[in-house]
């Protein structure tokens, strides 16, 4: 309980009042205090659960999930977060490939929201579409609320879009904070966010983009490495550059995996698709040119195959700080000789980091719950004190 | 709170004791007092939620939903209603096209109901089947309860059948009650329930049937208009006629949209399929004649195309009372130039009524919750007073 | 309440302490006291619900269900059990045919379990695989818990595997206990577990195996009958033989349905597939030989057709004790002239036993809830007393 009270006191020093009734769409739209508040509330919620104290703030209410791409871990994280706070999850199932727009989005958003407190959306398949779609939904329910259609305004949580994957990268950073014993220890640490080979094509760019957009804020040295042609969205790179300037960190680009790994404290090797190819694919979908999409996919696989040496092998790991960099991945990873013939990471490296990797993933439910909490509770510090005094048990045992 | 207490006092003047442990399948099986009780309880629940008072009466229990046709808004309304009262929704997923019968219905109904308090069913595709199916399920669980198989009898809520769509039309009327400031102001109002053109065929008849079966009870003048051949079920028209006689209202049929719109206070233009064609289609399904079904569908689309002038245009709206009739639709509407080339309503008319349309839809969760409440609570007035005294918060904030 | 207190006192005399934090995978891994504890807690939970007392022990938490084969009644039983105790069900949907292994199982098991208290799995399609899969999942989350990845260890409930179907057979026995007025009255009763003809092939062996593995423990005389070639797994027959020896019961095999039915107190006629054929099918799946699987299925249907006389007819029933044996089935049954031309049971027999059959099924939710309760609550007797003192209402009414 002392630890919990200390955490609440720390939360009280952060300014998070603008998070009330607001969405969580991109980390770089949030202030440093707001980002830190998410970590703090997540930590409090985790601590409460470990002490069997229920943080349930809803007696009823729905958490709507809309997954326009497959998901297991984020789906379960969202469910867990909603359930922890007292919301029941209701899935909205749409055809995966169809890109809804205009009237339909506005109407559906309102129709599902009469008793919804939060809407979580994954829409990461189409460059230029996913985040825009979330904003349409947000605008629709904000308008519905203001017009008296909705009794409450459901707030949005970005469960991965074409630009950012905030619940993932915030969970990644929560892992780093715990690993290094405090957010203040991240300053000066070198993280290598690198491309890695995978036998599949078209993996979203939102993780590497989210990582360079978030990690550059904490005074970290972010080294982005990828083969030529595998560029990220230039706007996000600009944000990373700007963040580094402000935070006293660094943002460096290289086309050598080795250079990025050299003396790194943390490595995050992961496959993604070239931005321009994804942009092209989105347009081809829009035009219904499915034969050309197949053609494009073939090209991308071929292009990937040139870079099989971009693997997080033991040799690569040996280049890192004392050969012991912390290995990160959003999972599932393509493991050489296990899930594929040649992949992102060698089996022995993956094996050695399995437990930390699972822990990394374990922060996501709390990060999502924290985002919901901060957007639904007007005075989070007061509410935490209330919950700690109530000490309602999570389970009788 | 004063408003809430006033509503509960009004509820105490209505006789709803026979609703306890009973289903809600057709509005015309309910007395005027019972219909008014549903509106009153819905209003109380809405008011409670707006005042952050939880009306949760279940600590555990399942609400079973069985959708034998696609649904988004009714699905979410049912989920919201169950969740508000404390029931967890469990979907029963069956093949959509298969028409189960006899032994299977009886058995499945019992097997899913051991801890079910309510079963909501949508079965609107086949004339002569949907409502009959609901009654089979109801009979099966009533028998199971009486035989000691089930500890409680789950009550049924008709979420749309081949005959009626009570949760929709009751929500429609709740909207009118709020719009006009009281159910007593509906008397003498003219409502035009008219067919409208849509590029799709085979839309259910349950909405227009439900509307003429319900709205004729309140002393309203119901004008039913459709092109020749687009008849509703004659039994339901008889009920409408009889209702009008009793309530001092009117039920008029015409084959001119203009005539129906003339001086109307309210308009409800909506596509539906001809009753006889739907009957034929049901039989063809039963006989497995899929080629003939395709043929029938082609014919229906062709027949529809003759009536593209049945559109709720600005010109049509100008015919209504002061050109300002309230436009109703159960949504989604086929909007000309938006969701289709030519449709039920012109974009400018739809646009002007969007907010009221969304509000109309917003009553449905409360109507469903009210139906559940009245069927599960022995003394609703006493229970409401209990809940108002308890003042348990819906969410801490 | 007196009855309830008596049941809790009886529970206090049974040793169930090793069930805490343990899985429920096979009945023969549990001691007699543990088996009896499951019945006792199930009975208490049923009694509490009938007295409108809530046994909710969880304020939040997930119950994960993974059905690798179709299911309606077990799905709803698991949902009901979780809901009764306060857990929200979250389905994990995987492709049905794919047999996941190794890395993927370990990772997925942890990824879905961060806030999971129980995992229920049905995996009955492939001989040698289902139970093994459950143990992989169990091992994975145990390891995750010990490594600090998971805050709590979700316990597993076997919702049907290739070897046993404990929630079914325990519900069957709960039915017998209630029917005969006490577990002590089962001693000496003769139960005929017999094969029966069905026009489908490939039904799992887990029910007959589970029945002979459980019923032999209570001093019952279990007569297993099937046509030549329809053997069960030899390991399970060994267990049945051993059980009978210890409990003072009997385990007899015969290839005559009549012999098994002769003077039986209870009959359980049910179709299943030959063990060796199912083993072969599993191997063919593993080798991707789908043509040969089709060939095998044809053979099996042909082989079945030789045994259409294995039907639970009135004539067969007349052979049983006073012609009045209790007829059991896990449902749905293949009823001659109702669900198929020729099946497991004649319509008149089935009809006469419908109510007891439905009651038999009705024990399953309580059996599952009991298994969860005993694995999650450290001191079940103390907890039951706490719940009985609290007397929190299941529903206000």
- Provide mean pLDDT across the span B244-266: 98
- Provide mean pLDDT across the span B24-37: 98
Inter-chain touch A331–C111, beta carbons under 8 Å: yes
In terms of CA atoms, which chain A residue is nearest residue C112?
A: A76
| Distance of alpha carbon C165 from alpha carbon C270, whole angstroms | 14
Inter-chain touch C88–A83, beta carbons under 8 Å: yes
C17, C92: one domain: yes
C378, C263: one domain: no
C202, C337: one domain: yes
Inter-chain touch A107–B358, beta carbons under 8 Å: yes
Question: What is the β-pairing status of strands B345-346 and B335-336?
Answer: parallel
CATH number of residue B197's parent domain? 3.40.50.1370
Burial of residue C228, with CB atoms counted within 10 A of its CB: 0-12 exposed, 13-18 middle, 19 or more buried:
exposed
How many domains does chain A contain in total? 2
Q: Which residue, among B83, B103, B116, would best test binding to C if mutated, counting the most C CBs under 10 Å from its CB?
A: B103
Tokens of C1: 């309440």
Region of A248 please: left (phi>0), alpha (psi -120 to 50) or beta.
left
Residues in CB range of C340: below 8 A, 6 or more apart = C198, C199, C334
In a domain, residue A181? The reply is: yes
Identify the band that residue B98 occupies on the pLDDT scale cut at 50, 70 and 90.
very low
Q: What are φ and ψ of residue A142, in 5° steps?
A: -65, -45
Q: What are φ and ψ of residue C263, in 5° steps?
A: 65, 15
C135, C219: one domain: no
Predicted confidence (pLDDT) at residue C238 exceeds the cutoff of 90: yes
How many beta-carbon pairs under 8 angstroms link A with B?
91
To the nearest whole Å, the CA of A118 is away from the closest chain C CA by: 18
A159, A171: one domain: no
Task: Report the length, in residues, of chain B.
Answer: 397
B266, B284: one domain: yes
A386, A308: one domain: no
Place of tokens 């007959």: C208
- DSSP type of residue C24: B
Region of B366 please: left (phi>0), alpha (psi -120 to 50) or beta.
alpha
Burial of residue B226, with CB atoms counted within 10 A of its CB: 0-12 exposed, 13-18 middle, 19 or more buried:
buried
Provide, as residue numbers in chain B, all residues whose Cβ is less than 8 Å from the Cβ of C76. Answer: 62, 90, 92, 111-112, 114
A224, A295: one domain: yes
Q: Which chains touch B (3 or more CB pairs under 8 A)?
A: A, C
Provide, as residue numbers in chain A, all residues whose Cβ is less than 8 Å from the Cβ of C60. Answer: 54, 56, 83-86, 394
pLDDT of amino acid C98 = 45
Predicted confidence (pLDDT) at residue B95 exceeds the cutoff of 60: no
pLDDT of amino acid C101 = 57
Provide, as residue numbers in chain C, all residues whose Cβ is less than 8 Å from the Cβ of B147. Answer: 355, 358
Q: Which residue, among A103, A104, A106, A147, would best test binding to B if mutated, counting the most B CBs under 10 Å from its CB?
A: A103
**Residues from A in contact with C at Cβ < 8 Å:** 46, 49-50, 54, 56, 72-73, 76-77, 79-80, 83-86, 88-89, 331-332, 335, 338-339, 355, 358-359, 361-362, 364-365, 392-397
A182, A140: one domain: no
Provide, as residue numbers in chain A, all residues whose Cβ is less than 8 Å from the Cβ of C376. Answer: 395, 397
pLDDT of amino acid C358 = 98
pLDDT of amino acid C102 = 66
Q: Which residue, among C63, C78, C83, would best test binding to B if mutated, counting the most B CBs under 10 Å from its CB?
A: C83
pLDDT of amino acid C357 = 98
Task: Report the length, in residues, of chain A.
Answer: 397
pLDDT of amino acid C375 = 98
In a domain, residue B396? The reply is: no
Tokens of A140: 């629709």
In a domain, residue A396? The reply is: no
Tokens of B159: 């979420």
Per-residue pLDDT of C155-198, as tens digits, reads: 999 999 999 999 999 999 999 999 999 999 999 999 999 999 99
In terms of CA atoms, which chain A residue is nearest residue C102?
A: A338
- DSSP type of residue A126: S
Provide, as residue numbers in chain A, all residues whose Cβ is less than 8 Å from the Cβ of C101. Answer: none
* B22 close to B357: Cβ distance less than 8 angstroms: no
Q: Is the dihedral of CA B384, B386, B389, B393 positive or negative?
A: negative
Q: What is the mean pLDDT of chain C?
A: 95
- Provide mean pLDDT across the span C281-299: 91
Of A285, A251, A262, A24, the closest CA to residue A131 belongs to A24
Domain span at C129: 2-164+365-390
Tokens of A5: 């009270």
pLDDT of amino acid B125 = 85
| Distance of alpha carbon B373 from alpha carbon B84, whole angstroms | 11
Worst-scoring range by mean pLDDT, A32-41, B284-293, C83-92, C364-373? B284-293
Three-class SS string for chain B?
CHHHHHHHHHHHCCCCHHHCCCCECCHHHCCHHHHHHHHHHHHHHHHHHHCCECCCCECCCEEEEEECCCCCHHHHHHHHHHHHHCCEEEECCCCCCCCCCHHHHHHHHHHCCCCEEEEEEEECCCCCCHHHHHHHHHHHHHHHHHCCCCCCCCEEEEEEECCCCHHHHHHHHHHHHHHHCCHHHHCCCEEEEEECCCCCCCCCCHHHHHHHHHHHHHCCEEEEECCCCCCCCHHHHHHHHHHHHHHCCEEEEECCHHHHHCCCCEEEEECCCCHHHHHHHHHHHHCCCHHHHHHHHHHHHHHHHCCCCCCECHHHHHCCHHHCCEECCCCCCCEECCCECCCCEEHHHHHHCHHHHHHHHHCHHHHHHHHHHHHHCCCHHHHHHHHHHHCCECECC
In a domain, residue B183? The reply is: yes
A182, A153: one domain: no
Q: How many helices (H) and strands (E) does chain A have?
A: 16, 11
Q: What share of chain A is helix, strand, coil (3-state, %, to 5)?
A: 50, 15, 35
Q: What is the mean pLDDT of chain B?
A: 95
Identify the band that residue B102 occupies on the pLDDT scale cut at 50, 70 and 90.
low
Predicted confidence (pLDDT) at residue B272 exceeds the cutoff of 50: yes
Predicted confidence (pLDDT) at residue C97 exceeds the cutoff of 50: no
Q: What are φ and ψ of residue B391, in 5° steps?
A: 50, 40
Inter-chain touch B111–C393, beta carbons under 8 Å: no
* A136 close to A106: Cβ distance less than 8 angstroms: yes
Burial of residue C136, with CB atoms counted within 10 A of its CB: 0-12 exposed, 13-18 middle, 19 or more buried:
middle
Question: What is the β-pairing status of strands B221-225 and B250-254?
Answer: parallel
Tokens of B317: 């709206």
Q: Which whole-number Å values give the CA distances from C182 to B28, C39, C175, C241, in the listed order? A: 50, 11, 10, 24
Q: How many beta carbons lie within 10 A of that of residue B3, not counting itself?
A: 12
In a domain, residue C395? The reply is: no
Task: Report the length, in residues, of chain C.
Answer: 397
Identify the band that residue C396 occupies on the pLDDT scale cut at 50, 70 and 90.
very high
Tokens of A372: 């919901």
In a domain, residue A233? The reply is: yes
In a domain, residue C385? The reply is: yes
Residues of chain B with pLDDT > 70, as a percent, come to 98
| Distance of alpha carbon A11 from alpha carbon A328, whole angstroms | 27
| Distance of alpha carbon A158 from alpha carbon A130, whole angstroms | 9
Task: Give, rounded to a whole angstrom, the gap between the first and last alpha carbons of chain B.
Answer: 19
C239, C355: one domain: yes
Predicted confidence (pLDDT) at residue B237 exceeds the cutoff of 90: yes
Per-residue pLDDT of C15-32, as tens digits, reads: 999 999 999 999 999 999
Tokens of B20: 């306890």
**Per residue of chain A (397 residues), what is the pLDDT tens digit?**
899 999 999 999 999 999 999 999 999 999 999 999 999 999 999 999 999 999 999 999 999 999 987 788 899 999 999 999 999 999 998 754 344 556 789 999 999 999 999 999 999 988 899 999 999 999 999 999 999 999 999 999 999 999 999 999 999 999 999 999 999 999 999 999 999 999 988 899 999 999 999 999 999 999 999 999 999 999 999 999 999 999 999 999 999 999 999 999 999 999 999 988 888 998 998 888 999 999 999 999 999 999 999 999 999 999 999 999 999 999 999 999 998 999 999 999 999 999 999 999 999 999 999 999 999 999 999 999 999 999 999 999 8
Element (DSSP H or E) covering residue C37: helix C32-50
CA angle B19-B24-B25, nearest 5°?
A: 140
Provide, as residue numbers in chain A, all residues whose Cβ is less than 8 Å from the Cβ of B362. Answer: 114, 149-150
Residues in CB range of A372: below 8 A, 6 or more apart = A63, A81, A82, A85, A87, A117, A118, A155, A157
Residues of chain C with pLDDT > 90, as a percent, come to 89
Inter-chain touch C358–B149, beta carbons under 8 Å: yes
Predicted confidence (pLDDT) at residue B97 exceeds the cutoff of 70: no
| Distance of alpha carbon B131 from alpha carbon C215, whole angstroms | 44
Tokens of A341: 């013939």
Element (DSSP H or E) covering residue A253: strand A250-254
In a domain, residue A397? The reply is: no
3-class DSSP state of C53: strand
Of B119, B98, B145, the closest CA to residue B23 belongs to B119
Worst-scoring range by mean pLDDT, A39-53, B244-258, C24-38, C85-99? C85-99
| Distance of alpha carbon B53 from alpha carbon C297, whole angstroms | 59
Radius of gyration of chain C measured on its C-alpha atoms:
21
Predicted confidence (pLDDT) at residue C295 exceeds the cutoff of 80: yes
Per-residue pLDDT of B371-392, as tens digits, reads: 999 999 999 999 999 999 999 9
pLDDT of amino acid A96 = 40
Q: How many helices (H) and strands (E) does chain C have?
A: 16, 11
Identify the band that residue B1 occupies on the pLDDT scale cut at 50, 70 and 90.
confident
Inter-chain touch C376–A395, beta carbons under 8 Å: yes
To the nearest whole Å, the CA of C52 is away from the closest chain B CA by: 10
* C290 close to C258: Cβ distance less than 8 angstroms: no
Q: Which whole-number Å values give the CA distances from C256 to C59, C188, C211, C259, in the listed order? A: 53, 21, 18, 5
B34, B60: one domain: yes
| Distance of alpha carbon C345 from alpha carbon C364, whole angstroms | 23
ipTM score for this prediction: 0.95
| Distance of alpha carbon B116 from alpha carbon B134, whole angstroms | 16
To the nearest whole Å, the CA of C115 is away from the closest chain A CA by: 6
Q: How many beta carbons lie within 10 A of that of residue A298, not counting itself?
A: 11
Q: How many beta carbons lie within 10 A of that of residue A237, not counting itself?
A: 17
In terms of CA atoms, which chain B residue is nearest residue A111?
A: B73
């Amino acid at each position: 309980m002392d630890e919990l009270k200390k955490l609440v006191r720390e939360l009280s020093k952060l300014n998070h009042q603008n998070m009330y009734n607001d969405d969580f769409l991109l980390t770089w739209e949030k202030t440093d205090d707001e980002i830190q508040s998410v970590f703090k509330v997540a930590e409090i919620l985790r601590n409460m659960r470990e002490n069997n104290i229920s943080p349930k703030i809803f007696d009823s209410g729905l958490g709507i999930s809309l997954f326009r791409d497959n998901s297991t871990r984020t789906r379960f994280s969202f469910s867990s977060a909603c359930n922890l706070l007292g919301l029941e999850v209701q899935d909205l199932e749409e055809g995966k490939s169809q890109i809804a727009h205009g009237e339909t989005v506005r109407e559906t958003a309102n129709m599902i929201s009469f008793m919804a407190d939060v809407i979580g959306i994954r829409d990461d398949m189409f460059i230029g579409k996913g985040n825009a779609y979330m904003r349409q939904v947000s605008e629709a329910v904000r308008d519905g609320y203001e017009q008296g259609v909705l009794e409450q305004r459901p707030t949005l949580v970005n469960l991965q879009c074409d630009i950012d994957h905030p619940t993932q990268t915030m969970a990644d950073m929560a892992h780093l904070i715990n690993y290094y014993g405090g957010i203040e220890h991240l300053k000066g640490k070198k993280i290598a966010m690198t491309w890695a080979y995978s036998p599949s094509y078209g993996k979203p760019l939102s993780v590497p983009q989210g990582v360079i957009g978030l990690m550059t804020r904490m005074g970290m040295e972010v080294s982005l490495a990828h083969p030529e042609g595998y560029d990220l969205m230039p706007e996000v790179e600009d944000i990373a550059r700007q963040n580094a300037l402000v935070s006293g960190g660094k943002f460096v680009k290289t086309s050598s995996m080795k250079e990025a790994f050299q003396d790194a404290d943390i490595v995050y090797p992961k496959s993604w698709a070239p931005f321009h190819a994804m942009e092209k694919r989105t347009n081809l979908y829009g035009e219904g040119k499915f034969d050309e999409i197949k053609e494009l996919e073939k090209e991308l696989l071929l292009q990937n195959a040139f870079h099989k040496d971009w693997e997080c092998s033991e040799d690569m790991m040996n280049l890192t700080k004392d050969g012991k960099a912390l290995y990160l991945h959003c999972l599932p990873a393509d493991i050489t000789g296990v899930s594929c013939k040649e992949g992102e990471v060698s089996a022995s490296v993956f094996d050695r980091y399995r437990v930390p990797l699972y822990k990394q993933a374990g922060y996501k439910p709390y990060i999502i719950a924290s985002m919901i909490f901060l957007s639904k509770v007007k005075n989070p510090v007061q509410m935490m004190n209330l919950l700690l005094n109530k000490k309602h048990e999570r389970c009788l045992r």
